[in-house]
Chain A
Amino acid sequence: MVAIEPKPLSGASVRRAGGESGPGGRGPVGRLRARFDWMPYWLLAPSAALIVLLIGYPIVRLFETSFQVLTLDQLFSHKTIWNGVDNYRTIFTSTSFWDSVLRTVLFTGACVVGTMVVGMAVALALSRLSRLVRGAVSVAMVLAWAMPPISAAIVWQWLFANQYGVVDWVLTELHLGTFQNFDWTGQNALLAFVVITMMIVWQAVPFVALSLYAGITQVPQELYEAARVDGAGAWALFRRVTVPLLTPIIGLLVILSVIWDFNVFTQIWVLTQGGPNGGTETLGVWSYVTAFSANTFGVGAAASVVSMFLVAVMSFYYVRVLVRSGEVR
């Protein structure tokens, strides 16, 4: 999860640098800093040490492992066998690996598009609803949002259970076909993905919708009035006023959603364990299964390196957006 930064109290009092207090007149703190100041480095040292130990080292180890033959044999005999780029050759020539990459891309895309479209629709609707209805919808969204992913996945499994699942009953009652004992997650990978995607969108919409709604309430009403006077209809207002003004926030939400949905594991694992027949194995699930179910840790590590690389590319864009919008200061 990525931090939702709390809003500063008031814009003006927050930023130290700039404005009236230039580099010269900064009060005692600034004046004390004539010599090289070691203080910030001391303050950072504990967190830096933890980061190096807990993340730096494992990442190095992941790279190492990806160049080794590592199965249960080596695990018990404590022998290190280097095999160069063989693991990478194995994954890049494996059709199931490429299938999982393609699946991850399509799944992430479906989740992000679904979340953004529904989120935007809800945000627009929220600003037009009465206070009571808006309050009710917000409460429902906060509850869905607050659900731990594992609980959400377990409940969705029960909703879509092939025996006595309530979704089957509703669809049958609506005369949409006979859905009794319909197997949503066990027979058809596409269907399973539909269920998983709906679950992800269900939990992701609240954050997106409430963020967009907060943005919409900040759009000056005069802009809409001016546009209306100029003869703009509802769609034109949305396209030419709302979207342009919300572009920064939309961009941020899209990138965050891409990273989050790319990394989804728990929900897929609980609902399908990657099945049927590996049909819902995304890249993360593939590397996990390869490492911990097939006990070919070296190959799993190579796949993990690939997914780390892909995430690095995505977070590069994320960081760039944040730097440009002034969040990294």
Chain B
Amino acid sequence: MSVVSPASRWVPTVAPAPSAPRTSARHETKERRSRRALAGAGALNVAALVFFVVTLFPVYWMVLTAFKPTGDIITPTPDFSPLHPTIAGFVDAIHKPFFWDYVSNTVIVSVATVAISLVVGVLAALALSRFRFKGRKTYLIVLLAIQAVPQTALVIPLFFTLQTLHQLNELLGLTGTYVIFDLPFTVWMLRGFVQSVPADIEDAAMVDGCSRLGAFRRALLPLIAPGMVATSIFAFIQAWNQYLFADVFMQLNTRYTLTVWLQSFETNRGTDYSGLMAGSVLYTLPVVLLFVLVQRKVVSGLASGAVKG
């Protein structure tokens, strides 16, 4: 996404002719202006602080609650400091029945989704960025449109489809439904990375005797590898975060994913916030780490690619 900026659109306003006497008045306004600027900067920093606190607080509160002893969580006056940290909540969460099943279900489905999307996606990205052919634009538009389809609309027919195929409660069936949204996104993102590599590189490889596919594999693929890593991480995060499909299609309590599991902490005795927040932290942490990693990878990957190319 870039800012397309036709400078011509901007029409300078007609300057008001300065009418006031210039000498002393100018000095005064300058001083007043700088004082006002100072006050403005102060207000701006206060606003930034408020925004910072409001933005970060939910994250902080989740982590803090996860590390609190149960007795300190439900208190009339909330405790805002991490004074008595404990990992009891985490131990509690990990020892919930089937916890490791949920972890492995989530990992398997997410990794499988990424693997399928990546392999199929690279091929499609090659076609869409290295060839001009009939139907190309239509295909791109279809990819965009799919990503806008509401999950709530697809969940009904997918439920029946999986039922017909005996794939309810099966990791394979769930993976298929995750691919729906990961694939278009992967193709779209990989296409951007392929486009960023000049095609001359493959041309040169072909002059040196590579076949067309060989040129893709030997010349192009190493160059887009960092992009593929970044794309897979984004795709992994998206699969990891899925909730609705897992909730509807995985009804067997050994087949839940972590998102569905997190929804099961509400007992009729109230919510187990210590375990719930610890579980949320465990579930959230990989995603946040990967997210931060990706941002760096995208930058460094592109930079190193530029040096190589």
Contact = CB atoms under 8 A, between A and B. Distances in A.
Interface of A: 1-10, 13-17, 27-29, 32, 37, 39-41, 43-44, 46-48, 50-51, 54-55, 57-59, 61-62, 65, 122, 125, 128-129, 133, 136-137, 140-152, 154-156, 158-159, 161, 163-164, 166, 169, 202, 205-206, 211, 215, 218-220, 223, 226-227, 229-232, 236, 240-241, 244-246, 248-249, 252, 259, 262-263, 265-266, 269-270, 283-285, 287-288, 291-292, 297, 300-301, 304-305, 307-308, 311-312, 314-315, 318-319, 322-323, 325-328
Contact of A159 (B5, B58, B185, B302): B58
B188 A322 contact: no
A170 B206 CA distance: 68
A129 B45 CA distance: 7
A265 B152 CA distance: 8
Interface residues of B, number: 125
Interface string B1-44: 11111010111111110000000000000000000000001001
B87 interface: no
A325 B5 CA distance: 11
26 contacts: A2-B144, A7-B2, A9-B196, A28-B203, A29-B202, A29-B203, A40-B127, A40-B133, A43-B126, A136-B52, A146-B288, A149-B241, A154-B276, A154-B280, A164-B73, A166-B78, A230-B14, A231-B13, A244-B10, A245-B5, A262-B150, A292-B248, A307-B150, A308-B149, A327-B1, A328-B140
A54 B180 contact: yes
Interface on chain B toward A: helix, strand, loop, or mixed SS?
Answer: helix
B70 interface: no
B69 interface: no
B256 interface: no
Nearest to A10: B306
Given A3-B188, A133-B48, 13 more contacts: A28-B203, A44-B124, A55-B146, A62-B156, A65-B160, A125-B47, A136-B52, A148-B259, A151-B280, A266-B244, A304-B156, A308-B153, A318-B144
